[in-house]
């Protein structure tokens, strides 16, 4: 049956579903190390040493709880040990001749 001119076609509500988009690619970034006089924790010290000496650091905890951090220069490695992370990186710094 023809609709009268003033009759509007009934609008059917449509559920709008979110369209999933892939997550943006992760963006790794590096930050400059803090100046020597602003080092406030083990992380600051280790990043300072990495930046100054050019090595990449890794670290682990030994079975007896000793903390170990190591700077790897490719053909050489220097390791620091301590009861805490701060002691270990300070030991590492000392072995590199740093006075912190």
Partner 1 sequence: MTESVGVLPIVSELSIKHFRPKGQFHKERFWERWAHKYGLDDRERHGIFIYDDGAYVDDYGVVCRRVVTDAGVAKLVDSFRNLFEPENFNYHAFGTGTTAEAAGDTALVTEVETRATGVQSGPAANQYRTVGTVSFTATRTVGEHGVFSQLAAGGTLWDRSLVTPTVGVNNGDAIEATYTLTINSGG
- Letters for 36-75 (x = contact with partner 1 by CB under 8 A, - = none) are --x-xxxx--x------------x-x-----x--------
* Host H or E run for residue 46: helix 42-53
Residue 13 as a binder of partner 1 (CB under 8 A): the answer is no
Dist CA 6 CA 68 (whole Å)? 82
Indicate the DSSP class of residue 38.
Answer: G
Q: How far is the CB of 20 from partner 1 (least distance, A)?
A: 5
Dist CA 100 CA 33 (whole Å)? 14
Which residue among 18, 63, 65, 74 contacts partner 1 (CB under 8 A)? 18
């Amino acid at each position: 049956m023809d609709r009268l001119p003033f009759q509007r076609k009934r609008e059917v509500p449509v559920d709008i579903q979110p369209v999933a988009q892939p997550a943006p690619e992760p963006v790794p970034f590096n930050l400059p190390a803090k100046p020597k006089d602003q080092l406030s924790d083990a992380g600051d010290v280790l990043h300072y040493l990495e930046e100054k000496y050019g090595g990449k650091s890794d670290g682990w905890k030994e079975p007896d709880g000793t903390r170990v951090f190591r700077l790897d220069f490719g053909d050489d490695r220097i390791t620091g040990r301590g009861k805490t992370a701060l002691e270990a990186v300070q030991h590492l710094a000392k072995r590199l001749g740093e006075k912190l």
